[in-house]
Every structure is written in C-alpha cells, then in structure tokens.
A and B are shown apart, each in its own frame.
Chain A
Amino acid sequence: MEEGFKEADVVVERTYRTQVQTHMPLETHGVVVDWNSDVMMIYASTQNTNAVRNEMASVFNLPKSKVRVVCDFMGGGFGAKHSAGSFGPMAANLAKKSGRPVWLMMDRKEEHHSEGNRPNSIQYLKIGAKKDGTLTGIQQRSHGTAGVALGAGVGRIAQILYPCPNFATEQYDVLTNAGPGAAWRAPGNVQGAFGLEQAIDELAEKLNVDPLSYRNQIDKSEVRKVERQRGAKLFDWSRRQPAGSDKGIVKKGLGIGQSTWPRFVTLDSSVEVKIHNDGGVEIRSGVQDIGTGTKTILAQVVAEELGLQVKDITVNIGDTFFPVGPGSGGSVVTGSITPPTRNAAFEAKNALLKLVAKEWKTDSSELFIENGQVSSKKDAGLKMPFKEATKLMQTSQISKIASRSDDYGGFQQPWGLAYGDLGSVQFAEVSVNTETGFVKVDKIVAAHSCGRPLNIGQLESQINGGVIQGVSYALYENRVMDKGTGHMMNANVDQYKVPFSMEIPEIETIIVEEYSALSSTDAYGIGEPANIATAAAIANAVYNAIGVRLYEIPITPSSILKALNKVS
C-alpha cells in the first residue's frame, strides 16, 4: 500500500459521511397468520416467501410442507423484508393460542425504529495517481453503525470500479443501542459510491482533466464507456463550466457518478408451467413480485415461447406451495427466474407439439406456434388453433417444472454466484441558491445496462424509482436521533423526509443492451444498480455549482450555507 502512494504525484485524502436512512415502505412489516388447520398459513408482506417459510418451519420445528407463505401483492420492500422477523413467530404463537387468525402489522413508528435501516458511514479514503492519471493506490477505512445488527460496511465499489494495483480496505461495524440495520437497495455500495465518486472527481480536478474524460481513462468497463458517451450527449456534458463559475445567486452545476453491481443469480429458482386442456396457460412459482412487475415479465416470457399473447397467460406466484423461487434481493429475480420460466414453457410446448405431430402424422420438430396457431414449417396448409391443440391432451394438463440449477459455466465466482457486472453512469444537474442554501435537482440522466431488457416501461420505472431514492438520500432522508435520550425524533412520515412530486427531477433513462449469452433470456435485474450513483452525482454537481465540496449527506440549506461561510 505504501509503495502505491510513494509512486503517486497527486493524492486525495478525505473523510466522507453518510447518514442513517430508515426504511419507510408504504406498507409496513407484518403478517396475518392462520394456524387453525394442519398447515400454518401465513399471509406476509415479504420479498422472500421461501425464506419466511424456512424460518417459520425452523422456529416451530415443522416440515416445510406444513408451512405456507403467500404474498400476492407487495407494498414495498427495498431490502428490509427478507425475514419473518420477530412479529412472524409472535403472530403464529398467538394464532395457535387463540385459534383465530392473527393480524400483526408494525405501526409507522415501529417501522422506523425496528424494521431496518441503511447504516451510516464515516469513510476515510486516500487515492493516489501519477501525473498521467494512472491510479497507484486506493486506501479505504470505514466505520458505520447498524445499531444492534451488523452490516455497516461500504461495499466493494472502491475495490472494483477502477482497477488499481494497490488496494486496501478496512470496514468496521460499530455496535450501538439503536434500531437494526437491514439490507437496503445495494447495501454498502450506495455509501461507498458517495465517497469514491467524489474522490475521483477531486483527483481529476487536481490532475487538471475533465472528470468524465478521466473516467474514460481509468475505467476499464466497456459498457460504462458506451453509457458515458450516450449519457454525455443526451445530458450535454459539454456545457459544464469550471466549479463555482456560475455568476448568479442561484448557481447551476453538473456532475457525474458511476457504479457497478454484479449479475447475481440464485440457482435454486424453480417454476412450473402448465398448459390446461381448455387452452389455459398457467405459471406457478414461489417467487414474489416485489412490485416491479415480475408477474408481467413472466407472462411475457411464456407468451413469447408459446406463441400466445400476454393476456392468455395466468400468473400465480408468491406462494410457497409452488416451486421455490428466489428472494427479491441482490437484483437476482429477473436473471434467476426468467430462464427456467422459458425452459419450462419450452418443454411444455414440446409436449403439446408431440400430440399435434401424432395427429398430423408428422414429426414435432417441424411444428411451431405463432399467433395462437400451431403450424408446420413444411406444410403451410396445416393449422390448428392452440386451444384446439390442447384438446388432444389425454390428461387435463401438461405440467413442466424447470430450475435455474445449471450454472452454465460462468457464474461461480470465488465470493458468490455472479457473472460480470452491470455498469451504470448517472449525470446530475442541480441549482443551488447561495443565499438560502436550497438545492434543487433539476435533471438526472441515468444510463444503465441489465442484459436484455424484457419490459422497457417497467425498466424505466424502476430506474426512476432508484434515482428518486438517490435524490432522497442525497438531500432529504435522515434519522434524527436525540443523543441525550436515544430516541428517534422523526419516526413518522411527516418529519422523516422523502421527496414528493415537486422534489422529483426530470429523469431521462438510457438503456444499453449488453448481452452475455449465458441463459435462455439473458435478462438481469435493475433494482439496485439504479440507486447507487445518484447521490454521488448530485454531490459532484453541487461542488460544480458552488465551488465548495460537501463531504456529508444529506445536503441541506444548513450545510450549504455553512460551506459558503454564511453561518456565523
């Protein structure tokens, strides 16, 4: 490490601070448990039906077959709803004792206090580079508190975003008597990106190069290179002026932030596709739809494979009586569950085509389904509506289950299951009022990649959500804790600030299709990547506007006016 800094001509050494962000989904944590019969029935607000089922089976020493978890619709998870919590077993015990279904949902205060947060961070970063910009050393040391839980690190972003021969990190968890941390949309990495991307900006300035050009030099990712090119064009990066050069009271600033997220996959992801003898098609899996549209994309995949329309497909998911699905964490769902869905549909289709081939006295490999018709490649005269074809079935259904269990030889990494990275680049335009200290994010251009996009509308919607949560992190959210009494002072929706309609900037998205050819859909998630770079891009834009850098979020009128030496 020391060698790295000895070689350096330029060094940036700073400490960055990020706040505690407490989970505030519209629907709080909770369950309804009905344990009147042999089976414990749990209606849960969860992003992981399988984990809740396993946890409850373990706590009550039941076989998994006697615990059923159902989640039809989710009112928001964002990482904090992977477990049965303490409320799950409590409700189950009460249901057993009372012989009645028990409803147990957190109230808003309990949600803020006890159901998870993104831990804070105090990050020391030292980055060295040669005159020509070559990175020589990155040293990181962070402290953070996840209260009574663990997980206050700052992720791997400083390690992998820009390759550097010398890297060292120490990440410390500080235990305190406060509410527990929980996963939150790219845990650790959002904090880490806030520090790293500001340090890289500062380094570029010291090297007297444009921060975007400098990233072109030190970032080896091909996908981010394309994202920077397309993003810079759409955003018009060329209008960026030197820091603090805007003359007005309200100063405009432009900034950039980058991020990476692995293409995680959960191999234990299974799905059943059924073709009924009345033409109905059904998808069944334990996988839940966290609210991003998993149900829709599963129907799309099966419709495409079966030559039908999306409306022809019934999706029954979020039920542990169906094949096990992945949890909605790590942005794994799309990459894990859509390939077996297509594979199961493919097998079900082949079984149906065999019946048609027998009827037509031909080989099933010559047959295909398109626009709801079974057709033959060899004889254009042969046509049979899909519904008619299903009447050839001797049983009432064809049922095929497929799993993602194959690794396809590319996902096993030393530290987990992932292939390559999902690169992201975001651009921020802000206005800073230098008299009142108010910051307004005017625009974000978000360039992202997630393999093959399955549903552009949903994809853009998730990117919008990630950006909005990033704006919220940069400017608004903050757990205010009274140091004297240890109470959270803003454990409500009124004083715990998240952006509403007027705080949301114009957001433009760019989708870069980067294929890996490692699954039958080649699709990946976007939930987490969309959230990582925003706060860093905003902080860099604020610096560009006022010429003073803020090392701490949330950025507030108070912190801006202090930075400008206007508070005595």
Chain B
Amino acid sequence: MNKFSWYEAKSVEDALEQVNSTVSEELYQATDKAAVFKSGGIDVFDWVKEGLLKPQKIVNIRNIPDLDKISYDPKKGMSIGSNVTLAEIASNPETKNHYWALHQAVNHAATPQLRNMSTLGGNIAQRNRCWYFRSADHDCFRKGGARCFARQSETGENENHAIIDNGSCVSVHASSIATALMAFNASVVIINGKGEKKEVTMDDFFVTAGKDIAMENILQAKEIITEIILPAPTKNTKSAYIKQVARESYDWSLGDVAVVFEVSGNTCRSASIVLGAAAPVPYRSMEAQQAIENKTINSENAFAAAEAAMKIARPLAKNGYKVPLFIATLKQAILEIS
C-alpha cells in the first residue's frame, strides 16, 4: 500500500474541488497524482491494498452532512442519500413495506459488519468482480492491457463470470443491490463541479464494456452521487428478489434476479426483470419481460419467461451452470409474486 494524504470533505462542493480523478481512470492508466473519493471505503481500499490504485490523496466524503438521509413519500417515492449505509436501508421499515425486493437484496448483501460500513453510493459505484481484473499480476483490457485472461478457452478461470454481453469483458457487476434498484426503475442524482445536477435512470447510469472498457458507469472525475430515487409503488406493485451464492453467510452473487410487477389479480400487467452477475452491468431482460407481460403468473409462464431470458446467454467454458441456475432462480422469483 502506498502512502497517501487524507482530506475530510465538509460539503459536496468542497469534495468536488479536492478530487481530480476516478478510481476507474486510475485503474485504466495510473497517474500516481490522483485524488479520489472514498465513502465506505470497502472497494477503494481493496484496490489500494492490491497495489493497483496508488492515490496521492483520499477525499473522504463519508462525513458530508445531509447525504445520509432516507425518506419516503407515498406520491414521490423514496429518496436514499448516497451516504446511507446498507444497514440503515436494511432496517428501514418503508423499504420493507414498499420495496420488498430492495429490502431482500440489501439484507443479502455482504455481511452485517460490511453492511454497517458500506454506503449505497459506494455500493452501486464499486468496480466489477473478476479475479483477473482485481489482480496486479494480470494486465487486462479494463486496466488498459492487451487481453482478457478470463475468456481464454483453455486457461480462463471463468466460473463466476458473465454469460450475457460477454464480448470484450466477461466480468460481472458486483452490486447485487443495483439489480433490485434497476428493477424498481430507480434513478441516480449526480452533481458536478459546476454545481449542475442531473438525474439518470439506473439503466442509463451503467455503461457496457462495449461502449467503454474503462468504466462501468457514467461517473466522471468531478461528479458525485448525492441520492438514489425510487419511484412510488402503486398498490398493485409486487416484487421479489433472490440471490444465489456458494455460501449463504457471505458471498458474491453467482446469479441474482429482481422482479417488479404491476399486477391485476394474478396477471402480470407490466414487468421489470433484472439479472445480476449475468453480464458486466446489471442486465434488464426485455425478453423475459415481454414473455410474462399480460400473462397469468403460474409455473408454466414463469418457466417460459425464465427460458426466454436465457436465450441470449453465451456461456464461457466454465460457467454453463449459470444458465439452469438463472432459469430456476427467475422462475422461483416470478412465482413468489403470485
């Protein structure tokens, strides 16, 4: 680990003045002059400890006032400040009452200890899971290198990797909470150094590897997430979330699904279905949504939708099991709604 200075940001403006780069930029082409944000510090310090990130300055945004508020309004929906911890979301009764899938996702993220430390902003902005990407010994595409080690057919250890959109990069997005947020059509509020505010949907927040190999989201150097907004549910909104992990106690997702339906009776009127750990970014399955919309929620239709979601799956040498895993998990999640 290199030595770095520490700056305690007092406000969003103060923080944006101090910072000059993003973790993504630094991982792609290290400068050793970087000043980067740290919120919960979970992901940033992993990179620092591995020696892949060598910041000159860490700008601590964890203690900026007013970014740690969580509020719910039946008409406007829910607003979660970017510094709200996962533990706070997990124990929030409004989340449990109105956004069941998010409640489930948060409660299955990491460990109780990590949930006490992690913030929602940091969670959705963390970098992808791939042990080659996260290894100092492997200079992969995402770090400005010349190859993807994971996709090598003879040697790639890709059992945890992507089965969808796995072209230039086969890593999977690390946030299982983002899976649920995207299913609820949540949006991210971002402020830049000029004080300009923009609100983008989760679908637009994430950037595919094909578009830009250096990053997984749109955040630029002088930008900061201030809040995440979830639209208000109707009385017919129902949701479910299931995460499959090797170890229940604590593990990264091998495949997780979030399903948010507008129902009338036992019929799905509109569907929002997102798969986590399937692709380099949380993946909205239009195929599954179309397959289940205006259909009765039953075992047969749930299975058909799950199969539709997997039609475009192109597994690598060692992750073929994810296809039946997703089919079983998505089917189960849809049936939990009925």
Contacts and interface: CB of A to CB of B under 8 A. Distances in A.
B328 A436 contact: yes
A318 to B, nearest CB: 32
B324 A567 contact: yes
Interface stretch (B28-36, B58-66, B240-248, B279-287): B240-248
A437 interface: yes
A561 interface: yes
Interface size on A, as a range, is 20 to 34
Interface stretch (B86-94, B154-162, B260-268): B154-162
A499 interface: yes
A30 B327 CA distance: 48
B324 A476 contact: no
Given A489-B131, A557-B254, A436 B244 contact: yes
A251 to B, nearest CB: 14
A437 B154 CA distance: 24
Contact of A503 (B157, B248, B323, B328): B248
Interface string B127-158: 00001100101100000000001001011110
Contacts of A433: 328
Interface stretch (A79-87, A405-413, A480-488): A480-488
Contact of A568 (B131, B251, B323): B323
B248 A561 contact: no
Given A437-B324, A566-B324, A568-B320, A501 B135 contact: no
B249 A503 contact: yes
Contacts of A483: 154-155
Contacts, number: 85
B157 A480 contact: yes
A482 B246 CA distance: 21
Given A503-B249, A556-B246, A558-B159, A487 B137 contact: yes
Contact of A567 (B154, B250, B320, B329): B320
B321 A437 contact: yes
Interface string A480-523: 11111101011000010101111100000000000000000000
B131 A490 contact: yes
Contacts of B247: 476, 497, 499-500, 502-503
A438 interface: yes
**Chain B binding surface SS class:** loop
Interface size on B, as a range, is 20 to 34
B311 interface: no
B321 A484 contact: no
A476 B246 CA distance: 8
Nearest to B137: A487
Contacts of B323: 567-568
A209 B251 CA distance: 41
Contacts of B246: 476, 497, 556-557
A499 B251 CA distance: 11
B155 A484 contact: yes
Given A436-B328, A437-B321, A489-B157, A484 B244 contact: no
A564 to B, nearest CB: 9
A562 interface: yes
Contacts of A500: 247, 249-250
Contacts of A502: 247-249
B249 A482 contact: no
B318 interface: yes
B312 interface: no
Interface in A425-446: 433, 435-438
Interface in B72-107: none
A143 B239 CA distance: 52
Interface string B306-322: 00000000000011110
A499 B152 CA distance: 30
A495 B160 CA distance: 11
A493 to B, nearest CB: 10
Given A483-B155, A489-B135, A561 B325 contact: yes
A438 B320 contact: no
Q: Top 5 closest A-B pairs, CB basis?
A: A500-B249, A435-B328, A484-B155, A558-B321, A483-B155
Interface of A: 433, 435-438, 476, 480-485, 487, 489-490, 495, 497, 499-503, 556-558, 561-562, 566-568
28 contacts: A433-B328, A436-B324, A436-B325, A437-B324, A480-B157, A481-B157, A484-B149, A484-B152, A484-B154, A484-B155, A484-B156, A485-B149, A485-B155, A487-B135, A487-B138, A489-B131, A489-B135, A495-B131, A499-B249, A503-B249, A557-B321, A557-B325, A558-B318, A558-B319, A562-B320, A562-B321, A567-B320, A567-B323
